[in-house]
Amino acid sequence: MATIRPKRASDLDACVALVHSAHASDGWPPLFPADVARFITPPYERSAWVAVADDGTIVGHVALHEVGDDALGDAIVDAAGCTRDQLAVLARLVTSHRVRGAGLGSRLLDTACAAALAEGCRAALDVAHVNAAAVEFYEHRDGWTRASSVLLTLPDGRSKDAWIYLGPEPGHPGGR
Ligand SMILES: CC(C)(COP(=O)(O)OP(=O)(O)OC[C@H]1O[C@@H](n2cnc3c(N)ncnc32)[C@H](O)[C@@H]1OP(=O)(O)O)[C@@H](O)C(=O)NCCC(=O)NCCS
Flag whether pLDDT at 23 surpasses 60.
yes
Give the model's pLDDT for residue 147.
98
- CA of residue 118 to ligand 1 center, whole Å: 25
Segment 34-60 mean pLDDT: 97
Run of H or E residues at 75:
helix 71-80
Lining ligand 1 with CB less than 6 A are 22, 26, 28, 93-95, 99-106, 127, 131, 133-134, 136-137, 140
Tell me the per-residue pLDDT of 98-125, one tens digit each, with 9 for 90 and over.
Answer: 999 999 999 999 999 999 999 999 999 9
Say which CATH topology domain 3-166 has: Aminopeptidase (3.40.630)
Q: Helix, strand, or coil here: 86?
A: helix
pLDDT band at 175 (very low <50, low <70, confident <90, very high): low
CA-nearest of 68, 78, 59, 98 to 150 is 78
Most informative mutation of 25, 36, 111, 137 for ligand 1 (most atoms within 8 A of CB): 137
**pLDDT tens profile 64-107:** 999 999 999 999 999 999 999 999 999 999 999 999 999 999 99
Q: How far, in Å, from the CA of 134 to the mean position of ligand 1? A: 6
pLDDT of residue 174: 57
